[in-house]
Amino acid sequence: MYRPLFFWPLARGFNMMMSQTRIGFTVSIAALMLTLSPGISLAADGAELYKTKTCFTCHGKDGNTPIMPSYPKIAGQNKEYTLQQLIDIKSGARSNGQSAAMKGVMHLVNEEEMQALAEYIATMAP
């Protein structure tokens, strides 16, 4: 007669343990997928960032049609070079009348995002 009452907390504990295991399993699968596809996820992120961080407004959707002839075409540039320019424009190490225009948006991106952007820009057709 008391048995159900006695077993109830045990059953509850078991259920919680099972659901935590399931969460743990889902998290490790997600982590595994991220580890297996770093290049793919970076390029995908970069494409998204290129839009959401307003890069396309000055450099064009394809990275090849800047809104002003004095703004650079960036599509297909080596990612190492691009990343260095992004870091330098953000820090102010690269600084002139032109870079001032771009520096205004650089607070929107951190180093990880700049890497994803550089990776993506390198994949754009020059």
Residue 78-117 contact track with ligand HEC, rule CB under 6 A, x = bound: ----x--xx-------x-x-xx-xx--x---x-------x
Task: Look at residues 63, 67, 83 and name the one whose alpha carbon lies nearest to residue 75.
Answer: 63
Residue with Cβ nearer ligand HEC (19 or 110)? 110
With vertex at residue 7, the alpha carbon angle to CA 2 and CA 20, rounded to the nearest 5 degrees, is 160
SS3 assignment, position 109:
coil
How many residues are listed for the chain in this entry?
Answer: 126
Specify the residue for token string 């225009």.
101
Shortest reach from residue 46's CB to ligand HEC, in Å: 9
Shortest reach from residue 43's CB to ligand HEC, in Å: 14
Total of residues contacting ligand HEC (CB under 6 A): 21
From the list 53, 60, 87, 123, which residue makes contact with ligand HEC (rule: CB under 6 A)? Answer: 53
Six-digit token pair at 90? 């953000």
